[in-house]
Homo-oligomer: A and B are copies of this chain.
Amino acid sequence: MRYHREDVVQRAIVVLDTYGLADLTMRRLGAELGVQPSALYHHFANKQSLLAAVADEILARGRRASSEQLPWDARVLAVCAELRDAMLAYRDGAEVVATVHAFGLGAQAPGRELEAALADGGLGPDLRRTAARTLLHYVFGHVSEEQTHLQASSAGAIDGPPASESDFELGLAIVMDGIRLRQRETAR
């Protein structure tokens, strides 16, 4: 069998969703494709590049109808909800996307969309960069925690009350209020 780069990414997502990030190894993925692990290095320079492509594909699959006609703050909320849903759609999705974003190798689209929406609200360059980063840290942090708890409780072992969708919205509303306050001071 001969594969293209995209075939490898698709299969990597199946392996991720079925066995989890810890078992998404180059050797395991090679075996799954019926190929030597070394063959994967024809398609990707290293494992990090593979993961970057996986993160971008997860985000691309989660894309919804453009929210450009909404008011700027509703648009920000829509981008955050879309990002959350995209990451929750695959096992360990939040960890993969957050890690790739932290390394700066991919997963840049949500940040850019947030900055565009915030620019629409009239926030200046520095403020919108910081606001976008703050939103992203919140979403990545919350959804990673949420997904960890979801997967831990679907296995066994429940501890505290898990982070839920309504928690997500409350925390997000807090951050948005802080941004709106500065928008009213800055804009127009």
Q: Mark A146-157, 1 if CB is under 8 A from B, else 0.
A: 001000000000
Q: Evaluate contact between B144 and A102: CB separation under 8 angstroms.
A: yes
A141 vs B111: C-alpha distance in the bound complex, in angstroms? 14
Residue A34 interfacial (CB < 8 Å): no
Nearest B residue to A126 by beta-carbon distance? B170
A126: B residues at CB distance < 8 A: 170
A141: B residues at CB distance < 8 A: 133, 136-138, 140-141
A77: B residues at CB distance < 8 A: none
Q: Which of B127, B131, B144, B174 contacts A134 (CB 8 A)?
A: B174
A141 to chain B, nearest CB (A): 3
Q: Which of B104, B145, B170, B182 contacts A174 (CB 8 A)?
A: B182
A144 vs B179: C-alpha distance in the bound complex, in angstroms? 22
Residue A6 interfacial (CB < 8 Å): no
A134: B residues at CB distance < 8 A: 138, 142, 171, 174-175
| A residues contacting the other copy or chain, number (CB 8 A) | 31
Considering the complex, which residues of chain A in the window 155-188 have a beta carbon less than 8 Å from any beta carbon of chain B?
A: 159, 163, 167, 170-171, 173-179, 181-182
Residue A49 interfacial (CB < 8 Å): no
Nearest B residue to A134 by beta-carbon distance? B171
Known pairs A130-B171, A177-B181; A102 contacts B137 (CB<8 A) = no
Nearest B residue to A131 by beta-carbon distance? B174
A127 vs B177: C-alpha distance in the bound complex, in angstroms? 15
Q: Evaluate contact between A133 and B174: CB separation under 8 angstroms.
A: no
A176: B residues at CB distance < 8 A: 178
Q: Evaluate contact between B133 and A171: CB separation under 8 angstroms.
A: yes
What is A's interface to B at a CB cutoff of 8 Å? Answer: 102, 104, 126-127, 130-131, 133-134, 136-138, 140-142, 144-145, 148, 159, 163, 167, 170-171, 173-179, 181-182
